[in-house]
Amino acid sequence: MPIYHLGIDDTDSLKRGCTTYVGALLVERLLPQATFLDFPNLIRLNPNIPWKSRGNAAICLRISTPMDCDYLLELAEEVVEENRDRQDEKNQPGIALLEGGVPKSLKLFGRRALYDVLSVEDATSLARELGIYYRTIKGGRGLVGALAAIGNTLEGDHTYELIVYRKKETWDGQRQVDRESVVEMDQGTYPYTFNNLDYETGRVLITPHGSDPILFGVRGEYPSVLRQALKMLKFSGGEMWVIYRSNQGTDAHLINNSAVAELRPYQAAVLEGKLMGTPKVIRGGHAIAELGDATGRIDIAAYEKSGEIQKVLRELLPGDRVRAYGGVIPHEGQPTRLTLNLEKLEVLELITAVARSPLCGKCKVRMKAKGRNKGYKCEKCGLEAKYSIMESLDRKAKKGVFLPPSRSVRHLTKPLQRYGMEKSWGSDSVHSFFGFIDAKDSP
C-alpha cells in the first residue's frame, strides 16, 4: 500500500483552536482505514517567529493506506475548516501531503524551520520541486510548518506527549484537574515525565489556560509511562487522548552554532564568546551583558523570570567564557541592533585573577596609572612601579548549565533531568496511542 506523510500547521490562534486537536480528529477518522507507521508527530518549530500563534506546533501523520491523495487532502481540509479559528485574520492553515519516502532536501528544510525564518515562497517552491500535494487557506503561511513537520522525522532524540482533549461544551470553562493527583503522578513517574509542576510556586504546568480543546498534556520519555500517568490523574470533562512523538524537551531548535556577525532577527542561535564588560541590572531586575566573539559583539539578556540564568549572569565578570542559547530579537525602531534573549546559559570558563594597579609599599594605597603602558605612580609619595599585579578572585559563580524555572521554559528546551536520557528512533513500537476517556480501550 502507498505510504503518505500528512503535515498540517497554523489551524489555531492566540484565543482558540489547537493544531494537535485537528491531528487527533484526523487520527480518529483514519484509524479504521490506515496503518500508522509512527506515532502521530508533534513538531515544535522556531519559537521566536513573531507571527506564531502560541507554541508554534505543527503535526504530521505517517500512514500506509489504500486511500488516494485526493481523498486524504479533502479529508484534511474538511477537518481543518471545521476546527480552525475563522475569526482571526492571522489564521493561515497549510496542509501538505507527501507520498513515499522523505527526501533529504525536505529534511534539511525541516531542520532549518527549527531555528530560522522561512517564507511561504520557500515552501511552495520546495513543494512543487518535490511533487508534494498541498492546500493553503487564506495566506497559507502554515504550509511552512506543514512541510517542516513532514521533514522532521525525529530520527534523533525525541520525547512523547499524551494530550487529553476536553468536551466541546467545556472549552470556555475552567479545567477540572485535581492538583494533588498531579503531585502524586509527578513523584510517581519521575524522572520519566517532566515539567508537570513548578514546585517553587506550586503552579500546575500540564494544563493550559486558554479557550482551547486541551484539558492537559503530560510529557515524558516513553508512551508506557504516559499511559501510567493518565491512570494516576484525577480529572473530569475529558473526551479523548492521543500520544504524540515529539521534539519537545530536546533542544532541537538550539542547533544553529553561529557567529555574532551571522545573526539575523528571530533566529534561534548558539553563541560562544567572552563577556566584554560587567553585566548590568536594569529596571525590573533584568540582567544584560555584552558578549563578544571573533566577529563582533551582541547584548545577551536574562529577564527576571529566567530565575537562575539571571542570577548567574549577574555574577559573571569580563573575560568569563560562556555559551549562550536563545532567540535573536531586534530592538524596536532599530532593526540592525540585536539582542540574544537567553533561554539557557552554559558557563565554560571563569577568570580566577584580575590585573590591578600595585599597592604602594610605603603608603599602602593603590597607585594610579600614568597612562597606557606607562606604569603606575603613588599620588602621595611619588613611588613608581612598571607593572600591574595579578590578584586572585573568590568567585561565587560556578561552571555548568543553567536553565529558567520550569514555569518559564519553552516547549523545546531540554530539562536538566533529561541530560543523559537522549534516545534514537526505534525505542517504542507503534501501538496504543489513541483512545476515548470513557471507552474500554483507554489506557
In single-letter form, the type of residue at position 75 comes to L
Q: What is the reported pLDDT for 12?
A: 82
pTM of the model: 0.91
Question: CB neighbours (10 Å) of residue 201?
Answer: 11
Is residue 346 a contact partner of residue 311, using CB atoms and an 8 Å limit?
no
Q: Is 78 helix (H, G, I), strand (E, B) or coil?
A: helix
Alpha-helix runs per DSSP H in 274-332: 308-315
**Length of the chain, please?**
443
Element (H, E) at 160: strand 159-166
Q: What is the pLDDT of residue 14?
A: 65
Q: What is the pLDDT of residues 153-211, one digit of tens each?
A: 999 999 999 999 999 899 989 999 999 999 999 999 999 999 999 998 999 999 998 88
Mean pLDDT of the chain: 92
- Side chain identity at residue 284, one-letter code: G
- Can you list the positions of beta strands (E) in 306-333? 321-331
Residue 373: the pLDDT is 82
pLDDT tens per residue, range 312-345: 999 999 999 999 999 999 987 777 789 999 999 9
pLDDT of residue 442: 45
**Residue 89 has what pLDDT?**
72
Distance CA 162, CA 145 (A): 21
Q: Is the pLDDT of residue 430 over 60?
A: yes
| pLDDT for 441 | 43
Which helix or strand (DSSP H or E) is residue 3 part of? Answer: strand 3-9
The backbone region for 91, taken as left when phi is positive above 0, alpha when psi lies in -120 to 50, beta otherwise, is beta
The helix (H) or strand (E) run that includes residue 356 is strand 353-356
Give 137's contacts (C-beta < 8 A, 6+ positions apart). 77, 80, 81, 84, 91, 92, 93, 94
Domains annotated on the chain, with CATH: 3-153 (3.30.70.2200), 159-251+418-427 (3.90.600.20), 260-352+393-411 (2.40.50.1010), 353-392 (no CATH)
Tell me the C-alpha distance between 60 and 143, whole Å. Answer: 12
Report the C-alpha gap between 245 and 57 in whole angstroms: 12
Q: Using a CB cutoff of 8 Å and minimum separation of 24, what contacts does 281-287 make?
A: 281/314, 285/310, 286/310, 287/313, 287/314
Alpha-carbon distance of 30 to 9, in angstroms, equals 18
Residues near 52 by beta carbon (within 8 Å), at least 6 away in sequence: 45
Q: In this model, does residue 439 exceed pLDDT 90?
A: no
Helix (H, G, I), strand (E, B) or coil at 290: strand
Predicted confidence band of residue 51 (pLDDT cuts 50, 70, 90): confident
Other beta carbons within 10 angstroms of residue 1's beta carbon come to 10
Task: State yes or no: pLDDT of 151 exceeds 60.
Answer: yes
pLDDT tens, position by position, 198-250: 998 999 999 998 888 999 999 999 999 999 999 999 999 999 999 999 999 99
φ, ψ of residue 141 to 5 degrees: the values are -65, -25
List the Cα angle 430/435/437 in 5-degree steps: 145
Which of 56-60, 75-79, 407-411 has the weakest average pLDDT?
407-411
pLDDT of residue 427: 53
Residue 440 binned pLDDT confidence (cut-offs 50, 70, 90) = very low
The closest of 153, 42, 111 to 253, measured between CA atoms, is: 111
pLDDT band at 135; cut points 50, 70, 90: very high
More confident residue, 14 or 34: 34
pLDDT at residue 144, rounded to an integer: 97
